[in-house]
Structure 1
Amino acid sequence: MASEPAVARPSFDTAGLEVVADSLDDGPHIYWQSDSAAIAFYLCDGSVAKQTFLVSDTLRFHGFCGDSLTEYVVAARTPEIQPSIYEDVPKIFVVSDIHGEYAAFVDLLVSAGIVDQDLHWRWGTGHLVVDGDVFDRGDLVTESLWLIYRLEREAIRAGGRVHFVLGNHEIMAMQGDLRYVNKKYMDGIVRRTKIMYQDLYGPHMEMGRWLRTKHSAIRLNGILFVHGGIGPHIVERGLGLEEINAQAREHIDLRSYQIAFDEVPIFWYSSGGPFWYRGYYEPKEGWYMHATPEEVEAILDYYGAHAVVVGHTGVEQVKSLYDGRVFGIDIPLNTLGSFQGLLWEGGVFHRVTGGGELEELAGHL
């Protein structure tokens, strides 16, 4: 594992994990005690199960909480930050705002042909974009994260890619904003292990260090992907794509008292930041106006893009806005009873229904 910044590792009292809890299964979570030692643990059938591993290069283990057929493969080295810009991508599939609804997420990926019935990558050299908000509300967040984590590795082997763009709920989880965390986690693994929820995704946890490599905005084939959106005020600051990602990543681990009195993190983690912006749909008093077509055009020109895809703001179905310049893809599960996705292939955008049907949308090449 590459050396990490000189930050003290949290001291988890793992000896006290063998406690009785309600049947609120969750896991695995992996805590890196050192560069070569890791603890994998679950809340399983009312108690906490754990195993300690010594690792030289790659940690491999089969699940030990009803998921024994699942092999977890985790590199000991710190995950690398991948590029934020790709060209010549043959096809792109996008979904957002999963919010722990693992079954609906899986149904869409299978129906769209992204994974097979065994949930392995079958989309070849295509790129899958998860446009933020895997966390909160639902009760299968951990399962959703591990699926994305594994598909990322499988896609690379096939010549494709998986991109996980951070949303506001990822930031909230890492910063300890627990307003929307499902009760299962607070009553279960948090209460019984005494590990704070945000520490489950801290920099010395496998999911935490992985999340910290993820971007806040990416561009594929001249299409921007960002969770909330990019408003004119971000362009006015002269921030390019790399600056957006670097600055957002720099401030992920700030605490609320640090954010409250510093202009830069206030900007990133406020209503006008890329995680929270809704200006393509509506104004927000004191923050921004409803973006005009001219402003959207200027934003896209600035980032060398011809369209932007956003989640965060719920829509009744995947839709095209601003004459095909903006695509909204956040479908609250209670709206249709299933998720929808957005497909780009051969210069054409399609809505992909929960049943896998394609419906062409207006868009710009």
Structure 2
Amino acid sequence: MTSTSDTTPTRRGATSATRWADLARNPLVGPLAALVVAVVAFSLITDTFLRPANLSLILQQSVVIGILAVAQTVVILTAGIDLSIGAVAVLGTIILAKVGGSHGPEVAIVAAVVTLVLVGLVNGALVAWVHLPPFIVTLGVFTAMYAATQLYAGSQVYPVDKGILTWLGTKLSAGGLTITTGVLAMLAIYLVAWYVLSQTAAGRHLYAVGGAPEAARLSGIRSGRVLVLTYLAAGLIAAVAAWAALGRIPNADPNAYQNANLETITAVVIGGTSLFGGRGSVLGTLAGTLIVAVLRNGLTQAGVDNLYQNIATGVLVIAAVALDQVSRRRVQT
């Protein structure tokens, strides 16, 4: 007969192993661990990485891509993709600069928000109601927005005077670390997105549409409306990113952020969000954004050529997608 004292350690061991297994399956654990490893590695390789000024620079460099990556995350969670997000944000910067110069900053902000939300509506309508592939839709919108921005800007750069349009570049000091209001805005957007996705019915519907579309349809979820609202939200977030871009550099350049779409996808994928939809977190995306920023900053300080930095980032993306594939196969089996 087995005594209670003999079985208790075994049960405790099994419970502990289960907890560790559950923790390992959390998609947020990998990105956070990678971020910690990168920070520790570069702090050992270089003497300047952990200096407050450098950490502040990393955060400031992450703002625009970090905000756009939130929009990319919600779209990818629906099993879609948005290749137009960078071009849409650049159009927003030109609208803010030109309309702000002629009609005032308040009118410019309203004009930029309305325009970019309408672009999101077009994306969402074509995907949800016309049933076109998101890749094709957003690739076409990317091409159209890039050309429209060049035409609207006349291929010129527009400087922006200090004021509300550059407010997200205002610097704040805390404990020797200097950050900007843009960093706080980025963190606020992540917090709101996390709450909506994890604590509301709208978030659960979005995950269902991306992860199990047929089950979502049978359960009465209006998938088309969810998709349209998702792309509308992406347009609104892109408007905030455009505002933050002028706070970062007070010039509206129609040629800026040409790789923003790829950089946002990189941050999302490294952050553990599945390209197949229905799995991931905006908190993982935040970690992914910081991983890319830390990697580029650390390699630059270590004297590594920018081309090799791109190679390292590309390898990291491929590895992240491969891990996602393995994880999905394990879940299915």
Of structures 1 and 2, the one with the larger relative CO (CA 8 A, separation 6+) is 2
**TM-score normalized with structure 2 length:** 0.25
The alignment's TM-score, normalised by the length of structure 1, stands at 0.24
- The answer to which structure has the higher strand fraction is 1
Structure (1/2) with the larger helix percentage: 2
Higher CA-based Rg: 2
